[in-house]
Structure 1
Amino acid sequence: MKFKTMPLYRIVSLSLFCFFTPRVEAQQKPNIIYILADDLGYGDLSCYGQEKISTPNIDLLAGQGMQFMQHYAGAPVCAPSRSSLMSGQHTGHTSIRGNATEKGMDEGQVPMSGNTITIAELLKQAGYKTAVFGKWGLGYIGSEGDANNQGFDEFFGYNCQAVAHRYYPTHLWHNRDKIMLQGNDWKHTVTYAADVIHDKALQFIDDNKTNPFFMYYSSILPHAELIVPDDAVFQAERAKFGDETPYLGKKKGEGKDYGDNLIVKEYTTQKYPHATFAAMVKRLDQHVGEIMSKLKELGIEKNTVILFSSDNGPHNEGGADPEFFNSNSFLKGIKRDVYEGGIRVPMIVKWPAKVKAGSKTEHVSAFWDVMPTLAEIAQVKTPMQSDGISFLPALIGKNQKQHDFLYWEFHEKNSSQAVRFGQWKGIRQNSTDLKNAPIELYDLSADVAEEKNIANNHPDIVAKIAKIMNDSHIENERFQFDYEIKKH
């Protein structure tokens, strides 16, 4: 197996962070926890308007910190969104732009480029212990995209997104060791993986309470499949929602259920889809609450930054019902759409004594801004590869620099591009002739639901957006549109 050799410029650039950055005592540097939910919609939290599911712990996090009302994921699906987060680059630049499984591999996705400088590598250079718990999905075990090759001292969870469709897998990974889960054999559902991962994350906090640490808590909740332990939380939701229409799969008999005919990448059937989804969101909320309690118990709450977000908009797979829960709130679209509902996500930041409790901001930000923000907090230099702007000034009430534009590209559903340009949102779709496809234009200041396409009224704005779309896309041999975008 061959991998790319790390280029000299990357070795030098990483060493410079350590060499030229003034030393700061370890205890002065805050711990950083980034919690990423999976397919949680903008409207799935009660602090963002959810009425059918209560999320008291995440609401408390928001009450003790700042809510971002215009924060965007890196992409409308998992892998490119997470690549954008880790690399500090939008999807026109980051190396992973789709959910592609590596050819010839039973488990694992196309690897993130070994040339990528990740958040974990930056914080490791700043003296942080780094770990990821949950879903990785950016390179199969042993590849250049393996979490251990991308700056993480410890990884525990799912390497592969397809396996992460299942909450009762046969195994998880601890670094490069396969950890078998008791009682799980693709027929029996004994050990709930999300709980095992959560316990390992709490142990990491315990083990590193005296050292600065960065924990990327990449939860699989509430992604499909819809399944949860039959506990008091589920029974409460079951009683609340009453009788339901079962989810039987897209086609009956496709082997989705646990048993002899199971297909790992598919989803189980579910008798109580609404109650189960609600219980999964509640379980995520409970996990967040336990992380907060652990920090308080150890006396490190005041010196810990917590960020909470979601990797994309709400899904409608495996029996999930975003329309019933109003999961995308007042926004148009869901997962796999570049409309607001597919990419605008909740984001909360708590940092005691630094971030005003109970505050909200309309600052327009995106996943690629997380890298420069955490770099500034840790007092290391942001690499030139990043497309982001630190939102630390917004957090602490200082003058905040704004983006000239935000850009997305998506390589599924006939391919699409989107640009947020001030109040304007432009969308171009249709892979058969994307470079000549019409651009939809929406004024988000008056039409956040993207209901009225006003492109014909503003040809000058459309032309600017077209140029941004064309200039922001750098060709990627792994993820290509069906054409060569014409440069203006």
Structure 2
Amino acid sequence: MISNFSVIPIAFFSAVFLQGTFASAQEAADAHRPPNILLILIDDLGYADVGCFGNRSNQTPHIDRLAAEGLRFTDFHSNGPMCSATRAALLTGRYQNRFGRAFEGALDADRDHDIGLPLEELTIAEALKPAGYVSGLFGKWHLGYQAPFLPTRQGFDEFRGLLTGDGDHHSHLSRSGDPDWWVGETLALEPGYSVDLITRDSIDFIERHRDQPFFLLVSHLAIHFPWQGPNEPAHRQQGHDYSDLSKLGPHPPGAVRPVVREMVEAIDRSVGQLITTLQRLNLDRSTLVIFTSDNGGYRHYGNRFHGEISDNGPLRGQKGQLFEGGHRVPAIAWWPGRVAPGVTPETAMTMDLLPTFLDLAHLEPIAAPALDGISLAPLLLRREPLPDRPFFWRNGSVAAARLGPWKLLIDDGRPLLFHLAADPSESHNLSATNPNRVAHLSSMLDTWQDEMDRPRPLPANPSPAGP
């Protein structure tokens, strides 16, 4: 009896050999070409709002698959507990506190209308241009409300989305009842749910720029209030003011939880569509995908909606606070063939992304002291541990410092000391029994705050690295 193996044509083996040889050559070429970078930034997503970080209610199969196939961070932090703060640090690789106190919270449309991310700062989009990148931002900006503080003046070749901190997910009206959906620098309202529009425009950008390196920032407005599901009618109407609690949306306490679940699951579908697009265009093995949140989630809003909004897991606190629930966020790095699947306890921050992208794009690093972040590339590609370093946060009168597992939080002069490895929920204040550690971290925090309030050298645009 002749086996099935014996009758397979020799041409088949030749084809398989050539295919394998081509794949090996392609992988070798991909290892030396600048990768595409797809950065998916979710608004107000809590640490445990998705399945792979412990949520048992929200159905997030696409994000969970991203985590299973990529590197999941369990100790990743936003630079601030509010929207504008983290976005400023993300784009510049620097502590946002250097740009003034306004950048420690959320830029206000009235109070901060005439300021924005300083134009002299170097953004990711500008820094990647020497390597031939085209850059697009679709979704939320929140780093300036008018020219010249717009994405198109900060290196982005394309922008579609909103300038303010929140908008109706359907009518795209701001908190003040004004239209807020832009194409470039032109106001251009269009119908559609924010998640769907941002996803559509992001996919179109990928398809149009498949043949050149691209940096794509998918900056979702969801799950930020107003809490609205994909199939609901618009809440805000033009000319009406929504600066009171009506800004939160049409749902009363007791009815928000299922709406937030719909928003999380809409984000998950968006992630699935983006990954499917990369795979369809054979870009998945040449694209680094980063998925994360701009800050922790709301557990409640004032004295309302307790337990109805986000899930921060075991972490204490929420958005706006410097307890872990305000800034420890879900984060995943996905790059088939380059980033091995796994979980890392290494501590990192949003400001580390710019130096990471420069490293992977084969651009000369920006010399210290211009950047505060460090490259995560050795961790992503080779699982090399990150160097020991302190981390700092400040929002108004509250500030925090972390070194290793120890975190000191100063709230109006009161020291709170936590050992995060043993107490991630920050339940036990150890300051009374560790005065020397409190003094050491306090000194570091004071030095950092003094530095943040002084001018700092600006980074120069990097150049391609030598051979």
* Contact map agreement 2:195 2:266 (CA 8 A) in 1: no
Deviation of 1:327 after TM superposition, in Å, equals 0.6
Counterpart CA distance in 2 for 1:177 and 1:441 is 49
Does 2:47 correspond to 1:65?
no
* Contact map agreement 1:391 1:400 (CA 8 A) in 2: no
CA pair 279-88 structure 1, distance change in 2 beyond 3 A: same
After superposition, give the CA deviation of every residue in 1:220-257 in whole Å (9 maximum; x if it has no partner). 111111112328xx9xxxxxxxxxxxxxxxxxxxxx95
Q: TM-score, normalised by structure 1?
A: 0.79
Which residue of 1 is the match for residue 43 of structure 2? 38
Deviation of 1:100 after TM superposition, in Å, equals 2.8
2:143 to 138, 141, 145: 138
1:171-190 alignment to 2 at 5 Å? Answer: 171-182=180-191
* Contact map agreement 2:74 2:344 (CA 8 A) in 1: yes
Deviation of 1:456 after TM superposition, in Å, equals 1.2
Amino acid at match of 2:38: I
Which residue of 1 is the match for residue 463 of structure 2? none
Q: TM-score, normalised by structure 2?
A: 0.82
Counterpart CA distance in 1 for 2:279 and 2:306 is 34
Counterpart CA distance in 2 for 1:128 and 1:26 is 17
Deviation of 1:198 after TM superposition, in Å, equals 1.8
1:73-84 alignment to 2 at 5 Å? Answer: 73-84=78-89
Which residue of 1 is the match for residue 350 of structure 2? 367
Counterpart CA distance in 1 for 2:394 and 2:307 is 25
Does 2:162 correspond to 1:155?
no
CA pair 297-73 structure 1, distance change in 2 beyond 3 A: same
After superposition, give the CA deviation of every residue in 1:287-320 in whole Å (9 maximum; x if it has no partner). 0100001111111111110000000000234998
* Contact map agreement 2:230 2:266 (CA 8 A) in 1: no
CA pair 402-320 structure 1, distance change in 2 beyond 3 A: farther
SS in 2 for 1:387: coil
Where structure 2 has 5 or more consecutive residues not aligned to the other structure, the ranges are: 1-28, 173-178, 456-467
Deviation of 1:141 after TM superposition, in Å, equals 2.8
Amino acid at match of 2:321: D
Which residue of 2 is the match for residue 269 of structure 1? 250
Where structure 1 has 5 or more consecutive residues not aligned to the other structure, the ranges are: 1-23, 183-190, 235-255, 431-436, 479-488
CA pair 38-451 structure 1, distance change in 2 beyond 3 A: same
Counterpart CA distance in 1 for 2:301 and 2:129 is 37
SS in 2 for 1:374: helix
Q: Which moved more, 1:443-452 or 1:390-399?
A: 390-399
2:283 to 280, 283, 300: 300
Counterpart CA distance in 2 for 1:410 and 1:59 is 32
Deviation of 1:386 after TM superposition, in Å, equals 1.1
Counterpart CA distance in 2 for 1:121 and 1:311 is 21
Does 2:338 correspond to 1:338?
no
Does 2:207 correspond to 1:206?
yes
Which residue of 1 is the match for residue 297 of structure 2? 314
* Contact map agreement 1:26 1:211 (CA 8 A) in 2: no
CA pair 104-465 structure 1, distance change in 2 beyond 3 A: closer
After superposition, give the CA deviation of every residue in 1:102-160 in whole Å (9 maximum; x if it has no partner). 6588xx573011121111111122210011111001112312x3111211111110011
Which residue of 2 is the match for residue 401 of structure 1? 386
1:426-437 alignment to 2 at 5 Å? Answer: 426-430=408-412, 437=413
Counterpart CA distance in 1 for 2:67 and 2:235 is 37
Which residue of 2 is the match for residue 417 of structure 1? 399
Counterpart CA distance in 2 for 1:209 and 1:280 is 29
Which residue of 2 is the match for residue 197 of structure 1? 198
Which residue of 2 is the match for residue 392 of structure 1? 377
State the identity as a percent.
29
SS in 1 for 2:145: coil
* Contact map agreement 2:290 2:331 (CA 8 A) in 1: yes
2:105 to 98, 115, 119: 98
Aligned length: 410
Counterpart CA distance in 2 for 1:404 and 1:475 is 17
1:349-368 alignment to 2 at 5 Å? Answer: 349-357=333-341, 359-368=342-351
Deviation of 1:376 after TM superposition, in Å, equals 0.5
Counterpart CA distance in 1 for 2:109 and 2:388 is 34
Counterpart CA distance in 1 for 2:170 and 2:92 is 28
1:230-309 alignment to 2 at 5 Å? Answer: 230=231, 257-259=235-237, 262-265=240-243, 266-270=247-251, 272-309=255-292
Q: Which runs of 4+ in 1 moved over 6 A?
A: 24-27
Amino acid at match of 2:153: N
Counterpart CA distance in 1 for 2:118 and 2:323 is 28
SS in 2 for 1:215: strand
SS in 2 for 1:363: coil
Which residue of 2 is the match for residue 445 of structure 1? 421
* Contact map agreement 2:82 2:104 (CA 8 A) in 1: no
Deviation of 1:324 after TM superposition, in Å, equals 4.8
* Contact map agreement 1:66 1:349 (CA 8 A) in 2: yes
Counterpart CA distance in 2 for 1:326 and 1:141 is 31
* Contact map agreement 2:171 2:235 (CA 8 A) in 1: no
Counterpart CA distance in 2 for 1:27 and 1:171 is 41
